[in-house]
Amino acid sequence: MKATKYSEMSTEELIKNEKSIKVITAMLAGMLAVLFVINIITAFKKGFSALSVLPIALLPIVIINFSNLKEIKKELNSRNAL
């Protein structure tokens, strides 16, 4: 994925990206939470497996998305202050 500077994007593009990142991050975080709960239940019943690490391995994606969302909000706030 190509890295873009938020200062070079238009306000409409920033708002569009903010909405899409919010939806994608919320869905991913929700699915990771469900997967984490399922893995805990499965671990108690059958023991640990290689798939038990999957929610922890995908967690950095959620963290990066929250960071990008914070940067977009910061840029939008700086534009609104002008």
Cα distance between residue 74 and residue 6, in whole Å: 10
pLDDT of the residue at 6? 85
| 30 within a domain of the structure (yes/no) | yes
| 74 within a domain of the structure (yes/no) | yes
Please give the average per-residue pLDDT across 74-79, as a whole number: 92
Cα distance between residue 26 and residue 72, in whole Å: 16
Residue range(s) defining the domain that contains residue 60? 10-81
| 3 within a domain of the structure (yes/no) | no
| 34 within a domain of the structure (yes/no) | yes
Cα distance between residue 78 and residue 75, in whole Å: 5
| 2 within a domain of the structure (yes/no) | no
pLDDT greater at residue 64 or residue 2 = 64
| 4 within a domain of the structure (yes/no) | no
Please give the average per-residue pLDDT across 63-77, as a whole number: 94
pLDDT digits (tens, 9 = 90+) for 16-65: 999 999 999 999 999 999 999 999 999 999 988 888 889 999 999 999 99
If one counts the domains in the chain, the total is 1
Phi and psi angles of residue 2, each rounded to the nearest 5 degrees, phi first? -80, 130
